[in-house]
Amino acid sequence: METLHIELDARGVAHLTMNRPERFNAFDETMIAELGQAMDQLTADPHVRLIVLAGAGKAFSAGADIQWMKRASEATQEANLVDARRFAEMLHKIAACPKPTLARVQGLALGGGVGLTVACDIAVASSDAKFAVSEARFGILPSVIGPYVINAVGPRQARRLALTASRIAAAEALAMGMVHEVVEAAELDAALARWIAELLANGPQAQGEIKQLFAQLEVGPVTAEVRELTAQTIARARMGAEAREGFAAFLAKRPAAWVPPAQNDKED
């Protein structure tokens, strides 16, 4: 691909790296299209267990490429709608992927870069990372990324970030739930490796079920419909081959079949 680098290791860990370091991995029409295409491919590939989204060079992603935004401002409303729908669909593919997704964040994550961060299930950042929901500085708004930002940090913090467009440090991003761990830059890959090991220890079908179920649940009363949904889901899952293997492995005190051999050795 023109803007991405994809690498799949023997464990099924796919590293999807935005590869425009000279532009701080700012995305344009091409990168958005290629990210959507890459997510389709990795989601469909049975060898892929999880996906790490990263940015080459000094920055994770500076958000929208300013030249792309300039072209959009001069285009028709119909063209802008097609463009925006493509971006919205790409973020949805990341968020709705049945496989775990992790964001590896260093340097800057601005505008849509924040959107990519919070669309992933887990985000790990270097201590020098900076975040900003910066769209208002350009006279626009964080519309497409808005739902993901709100889901990550809550409505009030999301409003504050969007209205001020101010940059926040990694420690504050951690405190509000935008990222899950902050480490020194030299420790970023080691931290990521710990998260990957934890994810690979668990059943891939169960992880897909978790993501599908949790996407249907909201904070609030546990209604009869919610209770029935959860009961139906666990009843189906308990009858599956993965559940049988998981229970058998636990009783036999051995790693489950889905745990990569190298990880088996480490745990032994």
Amino acid in position 235 = A
Whether 181 is catalytic is no
User: Which residue in 7, 34, 135, 245 is the catalytic one?
Assistant: 135
Q: Supply the residues annotated as catalytic.
A: 135
